[in-house]
Amino acid sequence: MKKQLIPILCSALVFFASCSKAPDKVISVDPNELTTADQMKIGEVFQLELETESAQFPILDEVNYPAANAYVSKLFYTMLNTAQVEHRPDYNWSVHILRDDNVRTAFFLPGGHFYIYTGLLKYLNTESELLGVIGHELYYVDSDLLIERMRQEFGGVMLGDILLENPVPALPDFVADMPMLDFDEDKVTAADAFAVQLICPFLYEPSGIKKIVERAQKEELKPLWLETRPSNFEARLLALDNETEACGFPGVSNEENYLKFKQEYLP
């Protein structure tokens, strides 16, 4: 009889283990393994918070400035709809202009939400320069470097709390820091190369970023976009030369179109 008790007891243990109630809610998240869906959710939370801070992030109204928004969006989606952008079909991409002439930068939120300040738009001189900026920023969000940088800067626990829908009291401060988020020099070089590779198949001039860097070299006050993308300017220009040389043609810059955009479409 004793020998028969063993399988019976084992069966009972298996039965009770399989019937144990699963937890109603995930209680932890591994911040080192954030999926595409995780990044989209984090981006949505950051975007919602950004939109509530209208004084700090004044979005250029699409109703009153349809031409300005349409112009930037057209160039953005020109860069996005290329085979090199791996997350192109995954994210809910969006484009927003922030109305502040004193801020000269651009940034992404996770999940594909792009923001660019009027200050940077007015600093640029050609469509090819704007395409360079867009392509450069696309690299960070498409390669997952953006979410990794956010994890380093804000902490994986915070990102996990967002996914678990826990309160994040410091969220407004984190959102406010997004335009100032910086990247290491090797990441900046990789982002430049990615931008050039995106532009090369088109008829556009691929040296837009190079012209921005060359212009900023002569200025005492550099655009925030360059300050948060730090590099040795000479080394960066040399790397850009090597990348653009492979394109094999000078390309067009559409300077006149861009001048019209700045003079007639922007406030």
Angle at 254 between CA 88 and CA 118, to 5 degrees: 70
pLDDT digits (tens, 9 = 90+) for 72-129: 999 999 999 999 999 999 999 999 999 999 999 999 999 999 999 999 999 999 999 9
pLDDT digits (tens, 9 = 90+) for 196-206: 999 999 999 99
Q: State the average pLDDT for the chain.
A: 90
Report the pLDDT value the prediction gives residue 250, as an integer from 0 to 100: 83
Q: What angle separates helix 66-80 from helix 127-142, to the nearest 10 degrees?
A: 60
Report the pLDDT value the prediction gives residue 179, as an integer from 0 to 100: 98
- Two structure tokens written together for 25: 């809610």
Report the pLDDT value the prediction gives residue 218, as an integer from 0 to 100: 93
The pTM score is 0.88
Report the pLDDT value the prediction gives residue 248, as an integer from 0 to 100: 77
Compute CA distances 224 → 45, 178, 206, whole Å.
25, 12, 22
Mean pLDDT of the 217-246 span: 95
